[in-house]
Amino acid sequence: MAETVNIKRLAQELNISIATVSKALNDSYEISLKTKNRVWTLAKELNYTPNPAASNLRSHKTKTVAVVIPCVANNFFSLSIKGIEEIARQYGYHVLIYQTHENIEAEVAFTNSLLSGRVDGILTSVSSSEYNSEYYTNLVKKIPLVFFDRVYENLDAVKVTTDDYEIAFEATVHLIECGCTKIAYLYGLENLPAGKARFAGYADALKAHQLEVSEQLVVKYSDDEETNLQQIKTLLQVHQPDALFSSIEEFIIPAYCACKELCLQIPSAVKILSFSNLSTAPLLNPSLTTITQPAFEIGREAAKCLFKILHNKQLDDEQNIVLKSMLIKRDSTAC
């Protein structure tokens, strides 16, 4: 590149001081329109772009936020990021991505490293492997932080979540109304509020319909795919449920494979319902009923909250924003 073009250079060319240029570029009220115009035109002409590092160093503002999530290659999170990025664009912010892979140490390491002034704020959906709110209790004091979907409760931070309990209740009722009486539950995120709420919704719906909540009908998610598959197969063989309520998308595949391997027809023999943001799934398999979280909107909402905080705007009192999920009944005719 030819001589770097910075405000010093602009100042020289225009025979004015560096400070004047800086103020003009920032549209300060102190500068005359005439001077501003001279600066702006030359800046455009020379293709001037401010050096972000210098600006950050001085102003302590990076115009950058970090998104810390378990994994990008997940329909929910990639949609969330899409929403976050769109809002960030509007506000002129940049978006950094960090994947924890459900590893709490990585999560802590990333967020800690962000404290050095690399970002103005953090958006996060925490790891499911452990639940240690102590760390986050301290963290939220140090940097603006917005949780989305997978949150730590009882913290002084904004949380954007969905109606996990209600939708799980509703979905379970739907299964019951379809005639299912022995509904197994594929339990994910059991360390997190979201996971617990989903299970509670399921359990309460059963109770409300005088159905028993049996531990034997619950399979807990394992990191190991093979284990999940085996457990579901065993569940199907031993307890013969007539429905599988999958609380996370990751359970869909083992659930299908298990049914398939045992030669169970879908939807007739075992009805599968799952939390899922895989928008094409129900289309490809019309028998799959899904609970779809508004991932895109969650991302947008979380980002908006963070930017409001960063701009010291009042957040409309509430710290807990709860968005509605959708229960998409793809097999209503079959009922």
Q: Which stretch binds its own copies (CB under 8 A): 16-24, 94-102, 163-171, 319-327?
A: 94-102
Q: Is the dihedral of CA 35, 37, 40, 45 positive or negative?
A: negative
- ∠ at Cα 197 (294, 231), nearest 5°? 95
Task: State yes or no: residue 120 binds its own copies (CB under 8 A).
Answer: no
Do 80 and 296 touch, CB atoms closer than 8 A?
yes
Secondary structure of residue 183 in the 3-state scheme = strand
Residue 106 token pair: 């990585």
In degrees and rounded to multiples of 5, residue 288 shows phi and psi of: -90, 120
Query: Per-residue contact track with its own copies, 45 to 74, x per CB under 8 A?
Result: --x-xxxxxx-xx----x-x------xxxx
Rule CB under 8 A: choose which of 132, 214, 285, 319 binds its own copies: 285
Q: Is the dihedral of CA 7, 8, 10, 14 positive or negative?
A: positive
Task: State yes or no: residue 55 binds DNA (CB under 7 A).
Answer: yes
Task: State yes or no: residue 132 binds its own copies (CB under 8 A).
Answer: no
Query: Per-residue contact track with its own copies, 186 to 205, x per CB under 8 A?
Result: --------------------
Residue 73 binds what, of DNA, its own copies, none (CB under 5 to 8 Å, by partner type)? its own copies
Where would I find the beta strands (DSSP E) of 222-295? 243-246, 271-275, 289-292
Residue 5 token pair: 């073009």
Residue 62 binds what, of its own copies, DNA, none (CB under 5 to 8 Å, by partner type)? its own copies
Positions that interact with its own copies (CB under 8 A):
1, 47, 49-54, 56-57, 62, 64, 71-75, 77-79, 81-82, 85-86, 89, 94-99, 112-113, 115-118, 142, 252-253, 256-257, 278, 280-281, 283-285, 288, 296
Binding residues for DNA, rule: CB under 7 A, are 4, 6-8, 15-20, 22-23, 25-26, 29-35, 50-51, 54-55, 57-59
